[in-house]
Structure 1
Amino acid sequence: MLYGPPAAGKDTVTSALTAVDDRYVYFDRLKAGSGKSSGYRPTSADHLAQLHDRHLIVYANERYGNIYAVDSPRLDEIIIAGRVPVVHLGQVAGITALRTGYPARWLTILLWCPRDITRARLHTRGSSDLEERLRVWDETQADLAAAEPGTFTMVLRTDQRTPAATADLIHRTLTGDPHNVPPLREPLP
């Protein structure tokens, strides 16, 4: 699980992970709503409700006027194929939901960058909703402050290491390769 505020590097680190080992696969969440559909499995709110009624939704949240969901059938599909799902989350409640609702050997990684770096990254990628995403950054920081100790296996600053170095560290930690693994908890600003 990759947790972090907008523009912390979840997509970039996931791309780097898939370059390290093709067993890693981005978990494409279900999305009901409008806007960007790339990277999601578009669906309807009615379909999500049906899946929820059948206890197939592990976690769902609303953000940016949309509903996003992690479903157990897609997790099953990835894991049965011998692959490693990389799930992006922006709420600590999602981490808890996945740990309790879909027991597995989860590695929980907080990807972090300061707010000014987030602003610069959002500006560079041409985000049209900059202020809303910065508000979400603030919400993520507050959510993080309420997280239980031990919520994260790793805390990594994406403004202090390259995506490739971050992916390599995650891969070595997941595969148990202890050679030169740096500290897994980097200080937050």
Structure 2
Amino acid sequence: MSRGILLYGPPASGKDTVTAALCELSDAYCAFTRLKIGSGGTHGYRMGSADQLAELEARGEVIYRNDRYGNIYLVDRPGLVQATQEGRIPILHLGQIAGLEAVVEKFAASWTSVLLWCSRESTEIRSKGRGDSDTEARLTAWDATAEDIKASPDFAWDLQLDTEAMSPAEAAQEIDLLTRRAI
């Protein structure tokens, strides 16, 4: 069975840096690049069109859709199939528990769900420090993530990590150990 990692957390909680650290641990890990329909930054995304979105939706191949920052972000079945080929372990970044649930429900794999957490103040400092032009929108997303967690108290995390208390390398080692135990 395919394996995968679901990283959940507010903006600037360390999803990118922990993913990079996981990829340094093993060539099996790969960042899943969501399909993005819209404008703005393209780094870390597969850019798509409205026509492509319509085709994926018509074929039932949209696993999860998130509309944020004036764009549409997708977890799509063809992208996940490709990401899990040859024993690779995709790492998906999601900011909504509904996204985690959709992926687990609609794509058969052994998923490791990880909550990466940082305070709202850290999100603001990290966002400004990396030069984000939309820090206020990211703080709004932080608030939404906190509410999402409160609204889903029964969600069973495989691992919860405070990224203010540990380095990305330490977080990656904990995730790697748990993921390898799931084999």
Which TM-score bucket, shorter chain as reference? over 0.9
* Residues 1:81 and 2:66 are matched in the alignment: no
**Alignment partner, residue 115 of structure 2:** 110
Of 128, 141, 144, 1:136 maps to: 141
CA contact (8 A) 1:45 1:67 kept: no
Secondary structure of 2:43's partner?
coil
SS in 1 for 2:178: helix
Asked if 1:34 corresponds to 2:34, the answer is no
Cα distance in 2 between the residues matched to 1:56 and 1:9: 28
Which one of 152, 165, 168 corresponds to residue 170 of structure 2? 165
Code of the residue aligned with 1:112 in structure 2: it is W
1:92 aligned to 2:97?
A: yes
Unaligned 5+ runs, structure 1? 178-189
- 5+ unaligned residues in a row in structure 2: which ranges? 1-5
Q: Kindly provide the amino acid, as one letter, of the partner of residue 20 in structure 1.
A: L
Task: Report the more deviating stretch, 106-115 or 144-153.
Answer: 144-153
Could you say what secondary structure the match of 1:93 adopts?
A: helix
| Structure having greater relative contact order (Cα 8 Å, sep ≥ 6) | 2
- In structure 2, what is the equivalent of residue 156 of structure 1? 161
Q: Which residue of 1 aligns with 2:71?
A: 66
Instruction: State the secondary structure of the residue aligned to 2:57.
Output: helix
Counterpart residue type for residue 97 of structure 1: A
Amino acid at match of 1:21: S
The total of aligned residue pairs comes to 177
Match of 2:51 among 46, 68, 78: 46
Q: TM-score, normalised by structure 1?
A: 0.91
In 1, the alpha carbon distance for the partners of 2:39 and 2:70 equals 8
Once superposed, which parts of structure 1, at least 4 consecutive aligned residues long, lie more than 3 Å away? none
In proportion to residue count, which structure has more strand?
A: 2
Aligned residues with identical type, % of pairs: 46
Partner of 2:20: 15
| Aligned counterparts of 2:22 and 2:127: Cα–Cα separation in 1 | 22
Distance 1:45 1:145 in 2: 34
Distance 1:150 1:129 in 2: 29
SS in 2 for 1:96: helix
Q: Contact 1:3–1:90 at 8 Å: present in 2 too?
A: yes
Letter in 2 for 1:126: G
RMSD value over aligned CA atoms? 1.1
